[in-house]
Amino acid sequence: MVSRPMVLSLTTFLALVLLPGCNNALNPFCGNSRPAPLISSLVPSTMTFSEVQQGSTLTINGGQFGPSSQVVINGKTLFPTIVSSQQLKVMITTSLISGPGKVNVSVHTPEGNSGDVGCSSGGTSSALVLTVD
């Protein structure tokens, strides 16, 4: 007969050794992991430098955004207004963009505390380009 502590040890062993890199849905310890964010569009996708100088709102649409998600523009991290798990908003100013050109925009969600049990958590979305004319 297997004692209860042995069952827990076996479960922990399986989670630590066999499930790292697996889909979090397969690992029973991954319930609190943070999904990697996804972005699908920027609104607007083009703005004038005059709009940047005045301060303009950029809306990031996508999915899997959470309370710890951050917007990264030109390597600078911003803490957005979270409208929903599918939409974030940030203010674009000359402190972020110094002139016309193409600007990379991505969303980063920091790791949660589940990485120690073989769960992937957090991550950075692919980048979309904001064009400033």
pLDDT averaged per 10 residues, the chain (length 133): 51 50 52 80 98 97 94 95 97 96 95 58 90 97
Domain that holds residue 93: 22-132
How far does Cα 47 stand from its chain's mean position? Answer: 24
pLDDT in tens, 75-99: 999 999 999 999 999 999 999 999 9
pTM value? 0.73
Residue in the block written with tokens 């569009």: 41
Looking at the domain assignment, is residue 105 inside a domain?
yes
Q: How far apart are CA 62 and CA 92, in angstroms?
A: 19
Looking at the domain assignment, is residue 76 inside a domain?
yes
Number of domains in the chain: 1
CATH number, domain with residue 67 = 2.60.40.10
